[in-house]
Structure 1
């Protein structure tokens, strides 16, 4: 993948994380394609910018959400206008300075380029619980903790 394209799509992912961390539902929703889809940590599915906004806005309005810490693991060009990003993420709960390993997650995004701009077509937030393999949870948590220092 060309470095410029990789930088562009990683910037969109960074904007998504920053919008979450700033509790900006409109900022998050506007990063999605018009018919984009978000699948949340709990399996909630929202399709379309307005539905994504309508799902996120009350969460941010009524809850102090944890802050994401994330790391892009790879970027794959699937076609000239379609890219997949895989990342790992952890969350720092409110009033804490450390990650909660129980909510580590894998982020998978498919981005599409329309009219020269990248949009998120799919964002999936999958729990990384590694059932029966606590060493993998700890390894991921330590990898993310490196980003805190």
Structure 2
């Protein structure tokens, strides 16, 4: 029978870490509201991945470049919203966050069903700060 050394188990996350992880979607939303691709990309790790429907970007520079083009084009004038629905800490320095939300077209206050998404965020703590290592979203609803 294998025994587990209790000191090897992760400690419960601090309230500060829980709050920092839950705040990441807000940082993304703030950067998006300003259409600031630099601030958006700074939330990500250098070696991150970002998957959106039909899009795969690897690395902070690719995320920054993609968002700069998108803010000038398809996302011009839009806002984004994301509400945490679950957070799981894998270790003291890594967590998975699940959100629901989507893109708000100009003038909208609620996400339309057509643009509603669910997203998975893999977060890591580096140098005392939380960063987004991997992001993936998909449509919330599937047409019958």
TM bucket by the smaller chain? 0.7 to 0.9
Structure-1 residue corresponding to 2:83: 71
Which entry has the higher C-alpha Rg, 1 or 2? Answer: 2
CA contact (8 A) 1:90 1:101 kept: no
Structure-2 residue corresponding to 1:84: 96
Q: 1:120 to 1:71 in 2, by over 3 A?
A: same
Structure-1 residue corresponding to 2:61: 50
- Tell me the number of residue pairs that the alignment of Structure 1 and Structure 2 aligns: 131
3-state secondary structure, aligned to 2:143: coil
Structure-2 residue corresponding to 1:144: none
Q: TM-score, normalised by structure 1?
A: 0.80
CA contact (8 A) 2:25 2:82 kept: no
3-state secondary structure, aligned to 1:96: coil
CA offset at residue 46 of structure 1? Answer: 0.7
Structure-2 residue corresponding to 1:100: 112
Gaps of 5+ in 2: 1-12
CA contact (8 A) 1:19 1:25 kept: yes
- Do structure 1's residue 30 and structure 2's residue 39 form an aligned pair? no
Pick the structure with more helix per residue: 1
- Alpha carbon RMSD of aligned pairs, Å? 1.6
Structure-2 residue corresponding to 1:142: none
Gaps of 5+ in 1: 133-149
| Distance across 1 between alignment mates of 2:126 and 2:56 | 23
What are the Cα deviations for residues 43-70 of structure 1, in whole angstroms up to 9, with x where unaligned? 3011111111111101112342432232
Q: TM-score, normalised by structure 2?
A: 0.83
CA contact (8 A) 1:104 1:129 kept: yes
3-state secondary structure, aligned to 2:84: strand
